[in-house]
Amino acid sequence: MLLKKLSEAFGPSGCEQEVRTILREELKDHISEWQRDALGNLIACKPAAAGPRVMVAAHMDEVGLMISSVDSAGLLHFHKVGGIDDRVLVSKPVLIGKGRVPGVIGAKAIHLQRPEERTQVIPHRSLFIDIGAKSKEEALEKVKIGDYVIFATQYGELGASMAKGKAFDDRAGCAILAELLKEDYSFPLYGAFTVQEEVGLRGAGVAAYAIEPDLAIVLEGTTCNDVSGIEEHEYSTVIGGGPAITFMDTSAVGNKAMIRELVRLAEANGIPYQFKGTVTGGNDAGRINISRAGVPVVAVSIPCRYIHSPVSLLSLADVEHSKALVKLFLRSIEGGFRV
């Protein structure tokens, strides 16, 4: 299953090779023209003689860690790659480097903590990764400074139509984009699998500059806080509520005509949808939006509970509905929809 493969792939920001390989393999019978730029963006080109140039983007990278030093006891110290809450790190199993060396993020056991320590967040600088090495030398035989680290989380399905796994932000978007690219369209379509979103939306800007799109859709995994203790009006998105359309966040304002068309298509075809209820955070849409002389954009997102942590949860129905809605939007462009 593609989402499982993508979710379990090794791909923190700047280290997206494994994800690129999976996508190229998945699409080998459907895409004849690929572009890969200096940053590592992978662009699937589906040329056509006429029609607007359409960019659909999803980022390949995930949040992770990077080894910064190894101490004399053989313990690895690390930096964060992207936004990770220090509180989700303690005691998590991880995999280090391309060789996937297993390790555990260590911290002082509760028995050993002073009462005041038990109420404090342990900053990641005070944590370390234990790979079972007894010395610096032994550790450096297995890992290198600069090695990336991912959470050792396997994909699984639970409940009626939910899945758990890491990196659904944004491998869910990548999985949908791959499916969309398996079909043919009458206008030039550019499927941009971007890099380094989690460290500052870097890949998308470069990709948009190269593609010069007339309009763009960004497929994302987004926050979902529809859980107890939060007022309904503060929900960002609701899991199972369908694709989340973003009016505005800190990176971009969604194009009104595109939003209206998405809503019209959803309602006409019985596809559930929702509007993202919060404006915090940003994504690739922000960079594509301000590329060259400006590009109309809209982000369509899959709600992901516990995003940017070792394990998040999504609704497989949301994935299907998002794919269906964006596909209808692309068909609508074929039918003459213009921004």
Catalytic residues: 197
**Nearest 5°: phi and psi at 99?**
-80, 0
Which residues, including other chains, have CB under 8 Å from residue 84's CB and lie 6 or more apart? Answer: 63, 65, 124, 308, 309
Residue list 33-52, contact with Co ion (CB under 5 A): none
C-beta of 227: minimal distance to Co ion in Å? 20
Structure tokens at 265: 């298509």
Return the number of the residue (133 or 207) whose C-beta is nearest Co ion: 207
- Radius of gyration from C-alpha coordinates of the chain: 21
Return the number of the residue (59 or 321) whose C-beta is nearest Co ion: 59
Which residues, including other chains, have CB under 8 Å from residue 195's CB and lie 6 or more apart? Answer: 13, 14, 16, 39, 40, 41, 59, 60, 61, 202, 203
Smallest Cα–Cα separation from 218: which of 60, 83, 56? Answer: 56
C-beta of 45: minimal distance to Co ion in Å? 23
Return the number of the residue (137 or 275) whose C-beta is nearest Co ion: 275
C-beta of 150: minimal distance to Co ion in Å? 15
Residue list 51-110, contact with Co ion (CB under 5 A): none
C-beta of 197: minimal distance to Co ion in Å? 5
Contact between 70 and 96 under an 8 Å Cβ cutoff? The reply is no
Applying CB under 5 A, the site for Co ion has a residue count of 2
Residue list 120-179, contact with Co ion (CB under 5 A): 169-170
Residue list 5-34, contact with Co ion (CB under 5 A): none
Count CB atoms within 10 A of the CB of residue 84.
Answer: 18
Residue list 237-256, contact with Co ion (CB under 5 A): none
Return the number of the residue (67 or 312) whose C-beta is nearest Co ion: 312
C-beta of 169: minimal distance to Co ion in Å? 4
Return the number of the residue (62 or 261) whose C-beta is nearest Co ion: 62
Smallest Cα–Cα separation from 132: which of 88, 98, 166, 94? Answer: 94
Structure tokens at 43: 């662009």
Count CB atoms within 10 A of the CB of residue 36.
Answer: 12
Which residues of this chain interact with Co ion, rule CB under 5 A?
169-170
